[in-house]
Amino acid sequence: MDGAPFGRYRLIELLGRGGMGEVWRAFDTVTERGVALKLLPAHLSGDEEFQRRFRREAKAAARLREPHAVPIHDLGEIDGKLFVTMRLVDGCDLHQLLTRGPMDPGLAVGIIEQIASALDAAHRIGLVHRDVKPSNILVGEDDFAYLIDFGIARVIGETVLTSTGVTVGTWPYMAPERFRSGVADASADVYSLACVLYQALTCWPPFPGQTLEQIVAAHMFQPPPRPSLVRGDVPAAMDDVIATGMAKDPRLRFPTAKALARAARDALGGSAASVRGGLTESSQRSSGGWIDPVVPVAATSVDRPANVTAAAVLAFLCAIGPALIGVVGFVEGLGKRDVVYLITALVFAGVAGTLVWGGFMALRGATARCLRRPPLVFGGVLVALSVIALTAGTFALAQAIAMFALSTLMFLCSLLVRAPSASVFFRSRSQRR
The three-state secondary structure class of 215 is helix
Residues 185, 250 contacting (CB under 8 angstroms): yes
Q: Same structural domain for residues 208 and 114?
A: yes
For residue 350, give every residue at least 6 positions away whose Cβ sits within 8 Å of its Cβ, in sequence order, or none: 375, 376, 378, 379, 380, 382, 383, 405
Asked whether residue 58 carries a pLDDT value surpassing 90, the answer given is no
pLDDT tens, position by position, 364-409: 433 333 333 444 455 555 556 655 655 555 556 666 666 666 666 5
Q: Of 87, 112, 128, at which residue does a domain stop?
A: 87
Residue 180 pLDDT: 87
Q: How many domains does the chain have?
A: 3
> What percent of the chain lies above the pLDDT cut of 70?
57
Residue 393 falls inside a structural domain: no
Nearest alpha carbon to residue 298 among 423, 406, 178, 385: 423
Nearest alpha carbon to residue 233 among 202, 258, 204, 256: 202
Residue 246 falls inside a structural domain: yes
Q: Same structural domain for residues 73 and 202?
A: no
Buried/exposed 43-56: b ≥16 CB within 10 Å, e otherwise: ebbeeeebbebbbe
Q: Does residue 125 or residue 357 have the better pLDDT?
A: 125
User: What is the arithmetic mean of pLDDT over 318-326?
Assistant: 54
Half-sphere exposure of 49 (CA within 13 A, CB side): 6
- The phi, psi pair for 234, rounded to 5°, reads -95, 120
Q: Same structural domain for residues 33 and 125?
A: no
Q: Same structural domain for residues 67 and 116?
A: no
Q: Of 87, 115, 137, at which residue does a domain stop?
A: 87
The three-state secondary structure class of 123 is helix
Residue 279 falls inside a structural domain: no
Q: Same structural domain for residues 253 and 149?
A: yes
Q: Same structural domain for residues 355 and 218?
A: no
> Which residues form the domain of 353?
330-359
Q: Does residue 307 or residue 297 have the better pLDDT?
A: 307
Check which CATH number belongs to the domain holding 64 and give it.
3.30.200.20
Selecting among 74, 93, 120, 131, the annotated active-site residue is 131
Q: Does residue 305 or residue 270 have the better pLDDT?
A: 270
Alpha-carbon torsion angle 84, 86, 90, 96, nearest 10: -50
Residue 376 falls inside a structural domain: no
Residues 37, 23 contacting (CB under 8 angstroms): yes
Nearest alpha carbon to residue 143 among 283, 333, 22: 283
Asked whether residue 202 carries a pLDDT value surpassing 50, the answer given is yes
Q: Same structural domain for residues 187 and 106?
A: yes
Q: Same structural domain for residues 245 and 120?
A: yes
Residue 371 falls inside a structural domain: no
Residues 7, 78 contacting (CB under 8 angstroms): yes
How many angstroms separate the CA atoms of 414 and 311, rounded?
11
Q: Does residue 275 or residue 93 have the better pLDDT?
A: 93
The verdict on whether 131 is a catalytic residue reads yes
Residue 298 binned pLDDT confidence (cut-offs 50, 70, 90): very low
Q: Same structural domain for residues 237 and 104?
A: yes
Q: Same structural domain for residues 75 and 114?
A: no
The separation between CA 190 and the C-alpha centre of its own chain, rounded to angstroms, equals 11
Residues 205, 195 contacting (CB under 8 angstroms): yes
Q: Same structural domain for residues 99 and 202?
A: yes
Residue 38 among known ligand-binding residues:
yes
Query: What's the whole-number average pLDDT of the chain?
Result: 73
How many angstroms separate the CA atoms of 59 and 154, rounded?
13
Has this prediction a pTM greater than 0.85?
no
Residues 409, 356 contacting (CB under 8 angstroms): yes
Q: Same structural domain for residues 72 and 200?
A: no
